[in-house]
Structure 1
């Protein structure tokens, strides 16, 4: 008989999820393969999730709840599991991001995480792959659920034009990402501006930063270095960040002109012919 890895359910949300999945599956009298056939995956994947070797997805959790009649247990638990896949130093920011009523972001090199496609996120996170890349990508995309809430935060993003030209993941990935940015322009509470190269020296030269505003709590300014992120509610820091952001918005193209620039870069730099050949 194969050795079954025993989990300590108190070790982590992922271990607890796997422990509970095995317990409920066995209580239902189902083998790995049988449950897998019901939720449209392999028995091997079920086994990997039960032994905390794979991170479950939301869709998987919803199917498991339906198959095992667990009343939404796994759909609720998967949020904790995905949050645990974020870097420890980033989790406090993610918690505040989810509670913010107004998010302002300036990005000098990358598309803001809340706006990334799956392929783009995978390319970014895979640049220094450590551990379960699938889990990290799922955790990043799960943050984007706040944009689909009935009352989402107001999100205003200023992207350096360099973000459009920095080829992340290849031409097709970039084309999909820029097309996604254009599709987001239709959202009522979301605005995207591009800071063009022609703006010259600007107040964002020191790097990317985010401002979070709340209904009742103090505002937060967030920055990152190559090691970790830094948050502060210091009034002077928040004031300085707000002034810098106002200047960036003023120097950036209008929302409509930004969309036109994104579309032009998408076609001219990443355009692909119907037969798959590059336009060049």
Structure 2
């Protein structure tokens, strides 16, 4: 357990955040309790974050920045902190997402992480492991900040129809998740298509994959194994997966018809009536 008097700011992004939070608070002449009263958090929580025992959230960081006049320093730092909480093998993916100008993703049985709601993400991440679930969920959701950038990437997402029926977290969670997918229906930068069961055999049967394209660097294909990630810029692999993705898009429903299917499943299977 870290101690506030011996906290090593260079040990990790989380330690550095705690060090900076303490430094800004003490410079303002505030105790942990006093700062907590100002930003509506407990002094105990502030102490846990300062000693690297608790991962800060974006909202917490924004409130502290506003209260202490840091110029947004902690809000900028928290993205690095949250990224560091991802599994080591997945941290490179978050970096690819942050740099890409276009992302093409195909997923079979789950809604993609960049499109997950908090409740859905918690259900997925907590299926077999409840340890630090709050922190791991926050880290996953933090990746979605790529859509808030000044120049966000164009995101193409193809989901198997099975992902709509795989009931993760219960009907209420699924209603919320499918409703969230529908919020992108008219967003030109986030495009959701459903690969219907009727497509039969398709170009993605070897498994999910992502293609990341950049302004100046070669494209990268990313696939996953159990507990490991496999990014590659091999031109032949990129060419093959790009062709596969083209065929998946051709077999998938249009964006409009995909939204109609999502809406229908939400109403019929999960009991939500949408006007």
TM-score (norm. length: structure 1): 0.92
- Tell me the equivalent position of 1:170: 170
| Matches of 1:193 and 1:126, distance apart in 2 | 27
Separation (CA, whole Å) in 2 of partners of 1:128 and 1:14: 25
State how far apart, in whole Å, the 2-side matches of 1:15 and 1:130 are: 23
Change (3 A) 1:220 1:4: closer
Mapped to 2, the partners of 1:60 and 1:40 lie a distance apart of 9
Other-structure match for 1:44: 44
Distance 1:242 1:40, change over 3 A: same
Question: Which residue of 1 is the match for residue 191 of structure 2?
Answer: 191
The answer to whether the Cα contact below 8 Å between 2:266 and 2:272 also exists between their aligned partners in 1 is: no
- SS of 2:88's partner is coil
- Segments of 5+ residues of structure 2 without an aligned counterpart are none
Q: CA contact under 8 A between 1:160 and 1:195: conserved in structure 2?
A: yes
Q: Name the structure 2 match of 1:212.
A: 212
Residues in 1 aligned to 2:63 and 2:186: alpha-carbon distance in whole angstroms: 31
Deviation at residue 136 of structure 1 after TM alignment: 1.5
Tell me which residue corresponds to 1:200: 200
Q: Distance in 2 between matches of 1:7 and 1:215?
A: 39
Match of 2:138 in 1: 138
Deviation, 1:182, is 0.5
Residue pair 1:6, 1:51 contacting (<8 A) in 2 also: no
Q: Aligned residue for 1:128? A: 128
Stretch deviating more after TM superposition (146-155 or 245-254): 146-155
Confirm or deny: 8 A CA contact 2:101 2:215 kept in the other structure. Answer: yes
Aligned-pair RMSD on alpha carbons? 1.6
Matched position secondary structure for 1:158: strand
> Taking structure 1 as reference, are residues 24 and 95 closer, same or farther at Cα in structure 2, changes over 3 Å only?
same
| Partner residue in 1 for 2:259 | 259
Aligned residues: 271
- 2:225: which partner in 1? 225
Deviations 1:134-190 (A, max 9, x none): 222112111111112232111111100010011111111110000000111121212
The gaps in structure 1 that reach 5 residues or longer are 274-280
Q: Name whichever of 24-33 and 136-145 sits farther off.
A: 24-33
1:157 maps to 157
1:133 offset after TM fit, Å?
1.7
Instruction: Indicate the SS of the match to 1:89.
Output: helix
* Deviations 1:217-272 (CA, angstroms, capped at 9, x unpaired): 11111101112110001011111101111111111111111111100111111115
Mapped contact 1:54–1:132 kept (Cα < 8 A): no
How many Å apart are 1:5 and its aligned residue?
Answer: 6.7
Deviations 1:108-140 (A, max 9, x none): 111111111111111111123264222221121
